[in-house]
Structure 1
Protein backbone atom coordinates (compact mmCIF):
# COMPACT_ATOMS: atom_id res chain seq x y z
CA UNK A 1 0.00 0.00 0.00
CA UNK A 2 1.50 3.34 -1.07
CA UNK A 3 2.34 5.94 1.52
CA UNK A 4 0.58 9.35 1.36
CA UNK A 5 2.76 12.20 0.11
CA UNK A 6 4.74 14.01 2.79
CA UNK A 7 3.54 17.61 2.55
CA UNK A 8 4.22 18.92 6.05
CA UNK A 9 7.48 18.89 8.00
CA UNK A 10 6.53 17.87 11.57
CA UNK A 11 9.97 18.75 12.96
CA UNK A 12 9.68 22.24 11.46
CA UNK A 13 6.20 22.64 12.97
CA UNK A 14 7.57 21.72 16.41
CA UNK A 15 10.40 24.19 15.99
CA UNK A 16 7.99 26.95 14.90
CA UNK A 17 5.83 26.36 17.97
CA UNK A 18 8.84 26.22 20.32
CA UNK A 19 10.25 29.60 19.30
CA UNK A 20 7.07 31.64 19.54
CA UNK A 21 7.61 34.90 21.42
CA UNK A 22 4.23 34.63 23.20
CA UNK A 23 1.36 32.26 23.86
CA UNK A 24 -1.65 34.55 23.29
CA UNK A 25 -3.67 33.01 20.48
CA UNK A 26 -6.85 34.67 19.25
CA UNK A 27 -7.51 31.83 16.78
CA UNK A 28 -7.49 29.29 19.60
CA UNK A 29 -9.81 31.53 21.64
CA UNK A 30 -12.31 31.69 18.74
CA UNK A 31 -12.25 27.92 18.39
CA UNK A 32 -12.66 27.29 22.12
CA UNK A 33 -15.69 29.58 22.24
CA UNK A 34 -17.23 27.72 19.32
CA UNK A 35 -16.40 24.33 20.87
CA UNK A 36 -18.18 25.33 24.08
CA UNK A 37 -21.30 26.26 22.09
CA UNK A 38 -21.24 23.01 20.12
CA UNK A 39 -20.80 20.80 23.18
CA UNK A 40 -23.58 22.66 24.99
CA UNK A 41 -26.00 21.51 22.29
CA UNK A 42 -25.53 17.83 23.23
CA UNK A 43 -27.77 16.22 25.86
CA UNK A 44 -25.12 13.66 26.54
CA UNK A 45 -22.54 12.48 29.04
CA UNK A 46 -19.03 11.69 27.78
CA UNK A 47 -17.29 9.88 30.68
CA UNK A 48 -13.99 9.45 28.82
CA UNK A 49 -12.91 12.37 26.68
CA UNK A 50 -9.66 13.45 25.04
CA UNK A 51 -8.66 16.90 23.76
CA UNK A 52 -5.75 16.96 21.28
CA UNK A 53 -4.20 20.31 20.36
CA UNK A 54 -1.03 22.40 20.32
CA UNK A 55 -0.45 24.00 23.74
CA UNK A 56 -2.83 21.46 25.27
CA UNK A 57 -1.85 22.46 28.81
CA UNK A 58 -3.37 25.92 28.27
CA UNK A 59 -6.78 24.53 27.26
CA UNK A 60 -9.78 23.90 29.55
CA UNK A 61 -9.84 20.70 31.56
CA UNK A 62 -13.65 20.65 31.53
CA UNK A 63 -16.54 21.97 29.45
CA UNK A 64 -20.30 21.49 29.91
CA UNK A 65 -22.77 19.72 27.67
CA UNK A 66 -26.51 20.38 28.03
CA UNK A 67 -26.72 17.65 30.68
CA UNK A 68 -23.27 17.03 32.15
CA UNK A 69 -19.68 18.25 32.41
CA UNK A 70 -16.99 16.76 30.19
CA UNK A 71 -13.60 16.26 31.85
CA UNK A 72 -10.81 16.12 29.27
CA UNK A 73 -7.50 14.33 29.18
CA UNK A 74 -5.41 16.93 27.35
CA UNK A 75 -2.82 15.66 24.87
CA UNK A 76 -0.14 17.76 23.17
CA UNK A 77 -0.49 17.44 19.40
CA UNK A 78 3.19 17.62 18.43
CA UNK A 79 5.01 16.30 21.49
CA UNK A 80 6.22 12.93 20.19
CA UNK A 81 8.28 11.80 17.22
CA UNK A 82 5.21 10.96 15.13
CA UNK A 83 2.00 12.77 14.29
CA UNK A 84 -0.36 10.45 16.18
CA UNK A 85 -0.73 10.44 19.99
CA UNK A 86 -0.51 7.30 22.09
CA UNK A 87 -4.11 6.27 22.80
CA UNK A 88 -5.65 2.83 23.46
CA UNK A 89 -8.25 1.62 20.98
CA UNK A 90 -11.99 1.59 21.62
CA UNK A 91 -12.02 3.38 25.00
CA UNK A 92 -12.98 7.03 24.39
CA UNK A 93 -16.51 8.47 24.35
CA UNK A 94 -15.37 11.77 22.85
CA UNK A 95 -12.26 12.90 21.00
CA UNK A 96 -11.80 16.58 20.16
CA UNK A 97 -9.00 17.65 17.81
CA UNK A 98 -8.27 21.38 17.67
CA UNK A 99 -6.13 23.28 15.18
CA UNK A 100 -3.61 20.66 14.18
CA UNK A 101 -5.23 18.45 11.54
CA UNK A 102 -4.50 21.10 8.88
CA UNK A 103 -0.80 20.16 9.09
CA UNK A 104 -1.19 16.37 9.19
CA UNK A 105 0.11 14.54 6.12
CA UNK A 106 -2.44 11.71 5.98
CA UNK A 107 -5.74 13.27 7.04
CA UNK A 108 -7.98 10.27 6.06
CA UNK A 109 -5.66 7.87 7.86
CA UNK A 110 -5.45 10.10 10.93
CA UNK A 111 -9.25 10.36 11.15
CA UNK A 112 -9.57 6.59 10.80
CA UNK A 113 -7.09 6.07 13.65
CA UNK A 114 -9.00 8.52 15.84
CA UNK A 115 -12.22 6.66 15.04
CA UNK A 116 -10.58 3.41 16.16
CA UNK A 117 -9.91 4.98 19.58
CA UNK A 118 -13.61 5.67 20.12
CA UNK A 119 -16.23 3.35 21.57
CA UNK A 120 -19.39 2.49 19.65
CA UNK A 121 -21.56 5.64 19.51
CA UNK A 122 -18.52 7.77 20.39
CA UNK A 123 -18.20 11.26 18.94
CA UNK A 124 -15.29 12.80 17.05
CA UNK A 125 -15.09 16.60 16.72
CA UNK A 126 -12.41 18.36 14.68
CA UNK A 127 -11.64 22.04 14.18
CA UNK A 128 -8.99 22.92 11.62
CA UNK A 129 -7.96 25.84 9.48
CA UNK A 130 -9.48 25.31 6.08
CA UNK A 131 -11.28 26.66 3.08
CA UNK A 132 -10.00 30.03 1.91
CA UNK A 133 -7.92 30.85 5.00
CA UNK A 134 -5.09 33.26 4.16
CA UNK A 135 -6.05 33.24 0.48
CA UNK A 136 -5.09 36.92 0.25
CA UNK A 137 -1.57 36.20 1.52
CA UNK A 138 -1.22 33.26 -0.86
CA UNK A 139 -2.19 35.41 -3.86
CA UNK A 140 0.10 38.25 -2.78
CA UNK A 141 3.15 35.97 -2.52
CA UNK A 142 2.28 34.31 -5.83
CA UNK A 143 2.23 37.71 -7.54
CA UNK A 144 5.48 38.74 -5.81
CA UNK A 145 7.29 35.49 -6.70
CA UNK A 146 6.27 35.81 -10.35
CA UNK A 147 7.43 39.42 -10.39
CA UNK A 148 10.76 38.89 -8.64
CA UNK A 149 11.89 35.46 -9.85
CA UNK A 150 9.48 34.53 -12.64
CA UNK A 151 8.27 31.43 -10.78
CA UNK A 152 6.18 30.43 -7.79
CA UNK A 153 7.24 28.89 -4.45
CA UNK A 154 5.16 27.09 -1.84
CA UNK A 155 4.72 29.67 0.95
CA UNK A 156 1.17 29.02 2.29
CA UNK A 157 -0.06 25.53 3.18
CA UNK A 158 -2.92 23.95 1.19
CA UNK A 159 -6.29 23.92 2.98
CA UNK A 160 -9.11 21.36 3.16
CA UNK A 161 -12.37 22.65 1.67
CA UNK A 162 -15.70 22.23 3.47
CA UNK A 163 -17.10 20.30 0.48
CA UNK A 164 -14.51 17.58 1.16
CA UNK A 165 -15.18 17.35 4.91
CA UNK A 166 -18.14 14.98 4.83
CA UNK A 167 -16.34 12.60 2.48
CA UNK A 168 -13.32 12.50 4.80
CA UNK A 169 -15.55 11.54 7.74
CA UNK A 170 -17.34 8.83 5.76
CA UNK A 171 -14.05 7.46 4.50
CA UNK A 172 -12.93 7.17 8.14
CA UNK A 173 -16.02 5.04 8.88
CA UNK A 174 -17.98 7.66 10.82
CA UNK A 175 -21.77 7.94 10.73
CA UNK A 176 -23.97 11.06 10.70
CA UNK A 177 -21.14 13.20 9.29
CA UNK A 178 -21.41 16.99 9.53
CA UNK A 179 -19.03 19.53 7.99
CA UNK A 180 -19.46 23.28 8.30
CA UNK A 181 -17.29 26.36 8.30
CA UNK A 182 -17.03 29.45 10.51
CA UNK A 183 -15.76 32.43 8.50
CA UNK A 184 -13.98 35.43 9.99
CA UNK A 185 -12.36 38.50 8.48
CA UNK A 186 -9.40 39.78 10.48
CA UNK A 187 -7.89 43.21 9.78
CA UNK A 188 -4.30 44.37 10.23
CA UNK A 189 -2.53 47.70 9.90
CA UNK A 190 -0.14 46.30 7.26
CA UNK A 191 0.68 42.96 5.61
CA UNK A 192 3.85 42.91 7.73
CA UNK A 193 1.68 42.99 10.87
CA UNK A 194 -0.15 39.88 9.60
CA UNK A 195 3.14 38.09 8.89
CA UNK A 196 4.38 38.95 12.38
CA UNK A 197 1.14 37.58 13.87
CA UNK A 198 1.55 34.30 11.98
CA UNK A 199 5.10 33.97 13.27
CA UNK A 200 3.93 34.73 16.81
CA UNK A 201 1.30 31.99 16.51
CA UNK A 202 3.91 29.46 15.36
CA UNK A 203 2.25 29.33 11.93
CA UNK A 204 5.32 29.96 9.79
CA UNK A 205 5.69 27.89 6.63
CA UNK A 206 5.29 24.18 7.62
CA UNK A 207 5.78 22.69 4.14
CA UNK A 208 8.42 20.11 3.26
CA UNK A 209 8.96 21.95 -0.03
CA UNK A 210 9.28 25.35 1.61
CA UNK A 211 11.91 27.58 0.00
CA UNK A 212 15.36 26.86 1.45
CA UNK A 213 16.31 30.52 1.56
CA UNK A 214 14.63 33.19 3.64
CA UNK A 215 12.35 35.55 1.75
CA UNK A 216 14.34 38.56 0.60
CA UNK A 217 13.47 42.12 1.53
CA UNK A 218 12.56 42.76 -2.11
CA UNK A 219 10.16 39.79 -2.21
CA UNK A 220 8.49 40.78 1.06
CA UNK A 221 8.12 44.36 -0.13
CA UNK A 222 6.53 43.24 -3.42
CA UNK A 223 4.20 40.85 -1.58
CA UNK A 224 3.13 43.59 0.84
CA UNK A 225 2.49 45.96 -2.06
CA UNK A 226 0.43 43.35 -3.94
CA UNK A 227 -1.54 42.55 -0.78
CA UNK A 228 -2.33 46.22 -0.08
CA UNK A 229 -3.37 46.78 -3.71
CA UNK A 230 -5.83 43.87 -3.76
CA UNK A 231 -7.16 43.56 -0.22
CA UNK A 232 -7.09 46.84 1.67
CA UNK A 233 -10.00 48.87 3.00
CA UNK A 234 -10.59 52.61 2.67
CA UNK A 235 -8.77 53.25 5.97
CA UNK A 236 -5.64 51.51 4.68
CA UNK A 237 -5.93 48.38 6.81
CA UNK A 238 -5.70 45.01 5.05
CA UNK A 239 -8.11 42.08 5.30
CA UNK A 240 -7.22 38.45 6.02
CA UNK A 241 -9.68 35.58 5.67
CA UNK A 242 -9.80 33.03 8.46
CA UNK A 243 -12.03 29.98 8.02
CA UNK A 244 -12.41 27.33 10.73
CA UNK A 245 -13.60 24.02 9.29
CA UNK A 246 -15.59 21.93 11.77
CA UNK A 247 -16.05 18.18 11.25
CA UNK A 248 -18.05 15.81 13.44
CA UNK A 249 -19.13 12.21 13.17
CA UNK A 250 -20.14 9.26 15.30
CA UNK A 251 -18.90 5.70 15.49
CA UNK A 252 -21.83 3.62 14.13
CA UNK A 253 -24.25 2.17 16.68
CA UNK A 254 -27.65 0.51 16.40
CA UNK A 255 -29.30 3.27 18.46
CA UNK A 256 -28.47 5.97 15.92
CA UNK A 257 -30.93 7.43 13.44
CA UNK A 258 -30.90 5.77 10.03
CA UNK A 259 -32.28 6.98 6.71
CA UNK A 260 -35.66 5.56 5.75
CA UNK A 261 -35.86 2.94 3.02
CA UNK A 262 -36.80 4.54 -0.33
CA UNK A 263 -40.56 4.27 -0.91
CA UNK A 264 -41.41 3.72 2.78
CA UNK A 265 -43.00 7.16 3.33
CA UNK A 266 -46.65 7.01 4.49
CA UNK A 267 -47.57 10.61 3.74
CA UNK A 268 -47.69 12.10 0.26
CA UNK A 269 -45.90 15.40 -0.32
CA UNK A 270 -48.89 16.40 -2.44
CA UNK A 271 -51.17 15.95 0.60
CA UNK A 272 -48.85 18.05 2.78
CA UNK A 273 -48.74 20.88 0.24
CA UNK A 274 -52.48 20.67 -0.42
CA UNK A 275 -52.12 19.86 -4.07
CA UNK A 276 -54.85 18.16 -6.11
Structure 2
Protein backbone atom coordinates (compact mmCIF):
# COMPACT_ATOMS: atom_id res chain seq x y z
CA UNK A 1 0.00 0.00 0.00
CA UNK A 2 2.90 2.39 0.67
CA UNK A 3 4.67 1.75 -2.64
CA UNK A 4 3.21 4.15 -5.25
CA UNK A 5 4.25 1.76 -8.02
CA UNK A 6 1.53 -0.63 -6.86
CA UNK A 7 -1.24 1.96 -6.62
CA UNK A 8 -3.80 2.06 -9.42
CA UNK A 9 -5.95 4.99 -8.31
CA UNK A 10 -5.35 8.48 -7.00
CA UNK A 11 -7.43 8.23 -3.85
CA UNK A 12 -7.25 11.95 -3.14
CA UNK A 13 -8.79 12.64 -6.54
CA UNK A 14 -11.43 9.96 -5.94
CA UNK A 15 -12.42 11.71 -2.71
CA UNK A 16 -12.59 15.15 -4.32
CA UNK A 17 -14.78 13.86 -7.15
CA UNK A 18 -17.09 12.02 -4.79
CA UNK A 19 -17.35 15.20 -2.70
CA UNK A 20 -18.42 17.18 -5.75
CA UNK A 21 -20.89 14.50 -6.78
CA UNK A 22 -22.88 15.01 -3.57
CA UNK A 23 -24.46 18.03 -5.24
CA UNK A 24 -24.95 16.46 -8.68
CA UNK A 25 -25.55 12.73 -8.28
CA UNK A 26 -29.33 13.12 -8.38
CA UNK A 27 -28.87 13.44 -12.14
CA UNK A 28 -28.18 9.68 -12.19
CA UNK A 29 -30.63 8.89 -9.39
CA UNK A 30 -32.60 6.26 -11.38
CA UNK A 31 -29.41 4.28 -12.01
CA UNK A 32 -28.37 4.50 -8.36
CA UNK A 33 -31.86 3.42 -7.30
CA UNK A 34 -31.76 0.42 -9.64
CA UNK A 35 -28.40 -0.76 -8.27
CA UNK A 36 -29.47 -0.28 -4.65
CA UNK A 37 -32.74 -2.15 -5.25
CA UNK A 38 -30.93 -5.15 -6.73
CA UNK A 39 -28.50 -5.23 -3.83
CA UNK A 40 -31.14 -4.91 -1.13
CA UNK A 41 -33.24 -7.65 -2.74
CA UNK A 42 -30.54 -10.07 -1.57
CA UNK A 43 -31.66 -9.46 2.01
CA UNK A 44 -34.98 -11.08 1.16
CA UNK A 45 -33.14 -14.33 0.40
CA UNK A 46 -32.29 -14.92 4.06
CA UNK A 47 -34.34 -15.26 7.23
CA UNK A 48 -31.46 -13.88 9.30
CA UNK A 49 -32.29 -10.66 11.12
CA UNK A 50 -29.69 -7.96 11.56
CA UNK A 51 -29.27 -5.30 14.23
CA UNK A 52 -25.98 -3.50 13.46
CA UNK A 53 -25.29 -2.52 9.87
CA UNK A 54 -22.47 -0.73 8.09
CA UNK A 55 -23.07 0.68 4.63
CA UNK A 56 -20.06 1.77 2.58
CA UNK A 57 -20.59 4.18 -0.29
CA UNK A 58 -24.37 4.06 -0.13
CA UNK A 59 -24.79 7.64 -1.44
CA UNK A 60 -28.00 8.00 0.55
CA UNK A 61 -29.74 5.12 -1.23
CA UNK A 62 -28.95 2.25 1.17
CA UNK A 63 -29.16 3.48 4.78
CA UNK A 64 -32.80 4.69 4.67
CA UNK A 65 -33.88 1.35 3.19
CA UNK A 66 -32.06 -0.53 5.95
CA UNK A 67 -33.78 1.53 8.62
CA UNK A 68 -37.12 0.91 6.92
CA UNK A 69 -36.38 -2.81 7.24
CA UNK A 70 -36.13 -2.48 11.01
CA UNK A 71 -32.36 -2.30 11.44
CA UNK A 72 -31.97 0.11 14.33
CA UNK A 73 -28.26 0.92 14.12
CA UNK A 74 -26.82 1.91 10.73
CA UNK A 75 -23.41 3.50 10.19
CA UNK A 76 -23.01 5.26 6.83
CA UNK A 77 -19.36 5.42 5.75
CA UNK A 78 -17.81 6.96 2.67
CA UNK A 79 -14.48 8.32 1.50
CA UNK A 80 -16.40 11.56 0.94
CA UNK A 81 -17.80 13.20 4.09
CA UNK A 82 -20.48 14.91 1.99
CA UNK A 83 -21.78 11.63 0.59
CA UNK A 84 -21.67 10.01 4.04
CA UNK A 85 -23.80 12.85 5.41
CA UNK A 86 -26.50 12.26 2.76
CA UNK A 87 -27.48 8.99 4.42
CA UNK A 88 -28.52 10.50 7.74
CA UNK A 89 -28.18 8.49 10.92
CA UNK A 90 -24.54 7.99 11.89
CA UNK A 91 -22.22 9.27 9.09
CA UNK A 92 -18.50 8.43 9.14
CA UNK A 93 -15.87 9.75 6.73
CA UNK A 94 -13.29 7.00 6.24
CA UNK A 95 -11.01 5.32 3.75
CA UNK A 96 -12.16 1.86 2.64
CA UNK A 97 -8.51 0.81 2.69
CA UNK A 98 -8.17 1.62 6.44
CA UNK A 99 -11.39 0.76 8.28
CA UNK A 100 -11.68 2.44 11.72
CA UNK A 101 -13.94 -0.23 13.26
CA UNK A 102 -13.22 -2.89 15.84
CA UNK A 103 -13.50 -6.62 15.29
CA UNK A 104 -17.05 -7.99 15.22
CA UNK A 105 -18.70 -4.55 15.20
CA UNK A 106 -21.39 -5.32 12.59
CA UNK A 107 -23.57 -8.24 11.59
CA UNK A 108 -24.38 -6.73 8.16
CA UNK A 109 -22.08 -4.84 5.79
CA UNK A 110 -23.24 -3.49 2.42
CA UNK A 111 -20.75 -1.85 0.03
CA UNK A 112 -22.45 -0.06 -2.84
CA UNK A 113 -20.55 1.24 -5.89
CA UNK A 114 -17.37 2.20 -4.04
CA UNK A 115 -14.98 -0.75 -3.88
CA UNK A 116 -14.03 -0.42 -7.56
CA UNK A 117 -11.94 2.64 -6.55
CA UNK A 118 -9.91 0.72 -3.94
CA UNK A 119 -6.24 0.04 -4.67
CA UNK A 120 -6.05 -3.10 -2.52
CA UNK A 121 -9.39 -4.86 -2.92
CA UNK A 122 -8.29 -8.13 -1.21
CA UNK A 123 -7.01 -6.11 1.76
CA UNK A 124 -10.21 -4.05 1.96
CA UNK A 125 -12.34 -7.20 1.93
CA UNK A 126 -10.20 -8.73 4.69
CA UNK A 127 -10.72 -5.64 6.85
CA UNK A 128 -14.48 -5.75 6.23
CA UNK A 129 -14.48 -9.41 7.21
CA UNK A 130 -12.64 -8.58 10.46
CA UNK A 131 -15.24 -5.91 11.33
CA UNK A 132 -18.06 -8.46 11.09
CA UNK A 133 -19.57 -10.56 13.85
CA UNK A 134 -19.81 -14.35 13.38
CA UNK A 135 -22.49 -15.38 10.88
CA UNK A 136 -22.75 -11.83 9.52
CA UNK A 137 -23.70 -11.08 5.93
CA UNK A 138 -21.62 -9.08 3.44
CA UNK A 139 -23.09 -7.71 0.21
CA UNK A 140 -21.31 -5.61 -2.38
CA UNK A 141 -22.10 -4.21 -5.81
CA UNK A 142 -19.45 -2.83 -8.15
CA UNK A 143 -18.99 -2.42 -11.90
CA UNK A 144 -17.46 -5.45 -13.59
CA UNK A 145 -15.37 -5.86 -16.70
CA UNK A 146 -17.55 -5.05 -19.71
CA UNK A 147 -18.98 -1.87 -18.21
CA UNK A 148 -18.59 1.08 -20.62
CA UNK A 149 -16.61 -1.16 -22.98
CA UNK A 150 -17.67 0.66 -26.20
CA UNK A 151 -16.59 3.98 -24.70
CA UNK A 152 -13.27 2.49 -23.58
CA UNK A 153 -12.56 1.14 -27.06
CA UNK A 154 -13.65 4.34 -28.83
CA UNK A 155 -11.45 6.55 -26.63
CA UNK A 156 -8.45 4.26 -27.05
CA UNK A 157 -8.80 4.11 -30.84
CA UNK A 158 -9.37 7.86 -31.20
CA UNK A 159 -6.41 8.83 -29.01
CA UNK A 160 -4.13 6.32 -30.74
CA UNK A 161 -5.06 7.83 -34.10
CA UNK A 162 -4.54 11.42 -32.90
CA UNK A 163 -1.49 11.04 -30.67
CA UNK A 164 -0.01 7.72 -31.72
CA UNK A 165 -0.68 6.24 -28.26
CA UNK A 166 -3.36 6.12 -25.59
CA UNK A 167 -3.50 6.66 -21.82
CA UNK A 168 -6.08 4.95 -19.59
CA UNK A 169 -9.32 6.95 -19.52
CA UNK A 170 -11.77 4.32 -18.20
CA UNK A 171 -11.08 2.58 -14.88
CA UNK A 172 -10.08 -1.08 -14.84
CA UNK A 173 -12.91 -3.24 -13.48
CA UNK A 174 -12.75 -6.68 -11.82
CA UNK A 175 -13.80 -9.82 -13.66
CA UNK A 176 -16.70 -12.03 -12.59
CA UNK A 177 -14.53 -15.12 -12.15
CA UNK A 178 -12.35 -13.27 -9.63
CA UNK A 179 -15.23 -12.36 -7.31
CA UNK A 180 -15.72 -15.57 -5.33
CA UNK A 181 -11.96 -16.13 -5.10
CA UNK A 182 -11.49 -12.67 -3.58
CA UNK A 183 -14.17 -13.37 -0.97
CA UNK A 184 -12.66 -16.73 -0.11
CA UNK A 185 -9.20 -15.21 0.16
CA UNK A 186 -10.56 -12.62 2.61
CA UNK A 187 -11.96 -15.37 4.84
CA UNK A 188 -15.63 -15.27 3.91
CA UNK A 189 -17.70 -18.44 4.01
CA UNK A 190 -20.20 -19.50 1.34
CA UNK A 191 -18.83 -16.97 -1.21
CA UNK A 192 -20.94 -16.21 -4.27
CA UNK A 193 -20.27 -13.83 -7.17
CA UNK A 194 -22.71 -13.17 -9.97
CA UNK A 195 -23.19 -10.52 -12.64
CA UNK A 196 -26.22 -8.78 -14.10
CA UNK A 197 -26.31 -6.41 -17.05
CA UNK A 198 -28.19 -3.13 -16.68
CA UNK A 199 -28.88 -1.78 -20.16
CA UNK A 200 -28.53 1.96 -20.70
CA UNK A 201 -29.10 4.08 -23.80
CA UNK A 202 -28.12 7.67 -24.58
CA UNK A 203 -29.54 9.72 -27.44
CA UNK A 204 -26.90 12.36 -26.76
CA UNK A 205 -23.39 10.94 -26.24
CA UNK A 206 -22.38 14.08 -24.36
CA UNK A 207 -25.03 13.21 -21.77
CA UNK A 208 -23.06 10.06 -20.98
CA UNK A 209 -19.96 12.09 -20.12
CA UNK A 210 -22.05 14.51 -18.05
CA UNK A 211 -23.60 11.61 -16.11
CA UNK A 212 -20.20 10.10 -15.33
CA UNK A 213 -19.03 13.45 -14.04
CA UNK A 214 -22.23 13.97 -12.03
CA UNK A 215 -21.74 10.59 -10.35
CA UNK A 216 -18.10 11.31 -9.47
CA UNK A 217 -16.97 8.52 -11.78
CA UNK A 218 -14.41 10.46 -13.80
CA UNK A 219 -10.96 9.10 -14.57
CA UNK A 220 -8.86 8.80 -11.39
CA UNK A 221 -6.17 6.39 -12.59
CA UNK A 222 -2.69 7.35 -11.41
CA UNK A 223 -1.37 6.73 -14.94
CA UNK A 224 -3.89 9.09 -16.54
CA UNK A 225 -2.49 11.63 -18.97
CA UNK A 226 -2.25 14.97 -17.08
CA UNK A 227 -2.24 16.99 -20.31
CA UNK A 228 -5.32 18.71 -21.66
CA UNK A 229 -6.99 16.24 -24.07
CA UNK A 230 -6.73 17.09 -27.76
CA UNK A 231 -9.72 19.11 -28.94
CA UNK A 232 -10.67 16.40 -31.43
CA UNK A 233 -10.42 13.45 -28.99
CA UNK A 234 -13.89 13.31 -27.47
CA UNK A 235 -15.81 14.32 -30.62
CA UNK A 236 -14.00 11.57 -32.55
CA UNK A 237 -14.57 8.97 -29.84
CA UNK A 238 -18.23 9.81 -29.31
CA UNK A 239 -18.88 9.79 -33.05
CA UNK A 240 -17.48 6.24 -33.19
CA UNK A 241 -19.86 4.84 -30.58
CA UNK A 242 -22.34 2.36 -32.04
CA UNK A 243 -25.83 3.79 -32.33
CA UNK A 244 -29.30 2.32 -32.68
CA UNK A 245 -32.94 3.40 -32.96
CA UNK A 246 -33.05 4.00 -29.20
CA UNK A 247 -29.72 5.82 -29.04
CA UNK A 248 -26.25 4.66 -28.07
CA UNK A 249 -26.49 1.37 -26.14
CA UNK A 250 -24.21 0.92 -23.14
CA UNK A 251 -24.03 -1.66 -20.40
CA UNK A 252 -23.48 -1.40 -16.67
CA UNK A 253 -22.34 -4.90 -15.80
CA UNK A 254 -23.09 -5.17 -12.10
CA UNK A 255 -20.91 -7.58 -10.11
CA UNK A 256 -22.60 -8.65 -6.88
CA UNK A 257 -20.58 -10.29 -4.11
CA UNK A 258 -22.20 -12.24 -1.29
CA UNK A 259 -20.34 -13.79 1.62
CA UNK A 260 -20.81 -14.71 5.26
CA UNK A 261 -18.42 -14.25 8.13
CA UNK A 262 -17.72 -17.75 9.50
CA UNK A 263 -20.05 -18.88 12.25
CA UNK A 264 -20.54 -22.08 14.27
CA UNK A 265 -23.93 -22.96 12.74
CA UNK A 266 -23.07 -22.57 9.06
CA UNK A 267 -23.11 -25.62 6.76
CA UNK A 268 -19.67 -27.00 5.94
CA UNK A 269 -18.36 -29.33 3.30
CA UNK A 270 -18.09 -32.95 4.43
CA UNK A 271 -14.66 -34.28 5.32
CA UNK A 272 -13.12 -36.29 2.44
CA UNK A 273 -13.75 -39.99 2.91
CA UNK A 274 -16.64 -39.50 5.34
CA UNK A 275 -19.42 -40.54 2.93
CA UNK A 276 -21.57 -43.49 4.03
CA UNK A 277 -23.34 -44.09 0.68
CA UNK A 278 -21.75 -45.19 -2.58
CA UNK A 279 -22.30 -42.85 -5.54
CA UNK A 280 -23.27 -45.82 -7.72
CA UNK A 281 -26.05 -46.73 -5.26
CA UNK A 282 -27.31 -43.16 -5.17
CA UNK A 283 -27.43 -43.06 -8.98
CA UNK A 284 -28.90 -46.56 -9.28
CA UNK A 285 -26.04 -47.67 -11.55
CA UNK A 286 -23.52 -50.52 -11.60
CA UNK A 287 -19.99 -49.74 -10.50
CA UNK A 288 -17.14 -50.96 -12.77
CA UNK A 289 -13.38 -50.80 -12.43
CA UNK A 290 -11.38 -48.34 -14.50
CA UNK A 291 -10.82 -49.79 -17.97
CA UNK A 292 -13.59 -52.38 -17.76
CA UNK A 293 -16.53 -52.13 -20.16
CA UNK A 294 -19.66 -50.67 -18.64
CA UNK A 295 -22.43 -53.15 -17.83
CA UNK A 296 -25.59 -52.11 -19.68
CA UNK A 297 -28.45 -51.40 -17.35
CA UNK A 298 -31.74 -53.20 -18.03
CA UNK A 299 -35.00 -51.35 -17.52
1:102 to 107, 110, 116: 116
Q: By how many angstroms is 1:12 displaced?
A: 1.0
Q: Determine helix, strand or coil for the equivalent of 1:19.
A: helix
- Paired with 1:26 and 1:236, the residues of 2 have a C-alpha distance of 18
- Paired with 2:247 and 2:9, the residues of 1 have a C-alpha distance of 31
Aligned to 1:41: 45
Aligned to 1:219: 233
Q: Is the 8 A contact 2:55 2:76 kept in 1?
A: yes
Return closer, same or farther for 1:82/1:93 CA change in 2, 3 Å cut-off: closer
Q: Is the 8 A contact 2:79 2:94 kept in 1?
A: no
Aligned pair 1:158/2:161, yes or no? no
Aligned pair 1:205/2:215, yes or no? no
- Paired with 1:62 and 1:73, the residues of 2 have a C-alpha distance of 13
Q: Is the 8 A contact 1:49 1:93 kept in 2?
A: yes
Aligned to 1:61: 64
Q: Determine helix, strand or coil for the equivalent of 1:217.
A: coil
- Paired with 1:3 and 1:122, the residues of 2 have a C-alpha distance of 33
Return closer, same or farther for 1:27/1:3 CA change in 2, 3 Å cut-off: farther
- Paired with 1:3 and 1:250, the residues of 2 have a C-alpha distance of 31
- Paired with 2:246 and 2:197, the residues of 1 have a C-alpha distance of 22
Q: By how many angstroms is 1:218 displaced?
A: 0.3
Q: Determine helix, strand or coil for the equivalent of 2:42.
A: helix
Return the TM-score normalized by structure 1: 0.88
Q: How many residues in Structure 1 have an aligned counterpart in Structure 2?
A: 269
Return closer, same or farther for 1:135/1:59 CA change in 2, 3 Å cut-off: same
2:243 to 232, 235, 258: 232
Aligned to 1:141: 155
Q: Is the 8 A contact 1:54 1:77 kept in 2?
A: no
Deviation per residue, 1:38-95 (Å, 9 max, x gap) = 1011101111111111534x54334389xx7334222224334744342222221111
Aligned to 2:34: 30
Aligned to 1:86: 100
Q: Is the 8 A contact 1:52 1:98 kept in 2?
A: yes
Q: By how many angstroms is 1:193 displaced?
A: 1.9
Deviation per residue, 1:185-242 (Å, 9 max, x gap) = 2100132221111111111111112111232320111111222xxx222x26111110
Q: Determine helix, strand or coil for the equivalent of 1:143.
A: helix
Which is higher, the Rg of structure 1 or of structure 2?
2
Q: By how many angstroms is 1:270 displaced?
A: 4.3
- Paired with 2:256 and 2:62, the residues of 1 have a C-alpha distance of 18
Return the TM-score normalized by structure 2: 0.82
Q: By how many angstroms is 1:261 displaced?
A: 2.8
Q: Unaligned stretches of 5+ in structure 1?
A: none
Q: Unaligned stretches of 5+ in structure 2?
A: 82-92, 286-296
Aligned to 2:18: 17
Q: By how many angstroms is 1:268 displaced?
A: 4.6
- Alignment RMSD (CA, Å): 2.3
Aligned to 1:118: 132
**Stretch moving more, 11-20 or 188-197:** 11-20
- Paired with 2:150 and 2:196, the residues of 1 have a C-alpha distance of 17
Q: Is the 8 A contact 2:15 2:79 kept in 1?
A: no
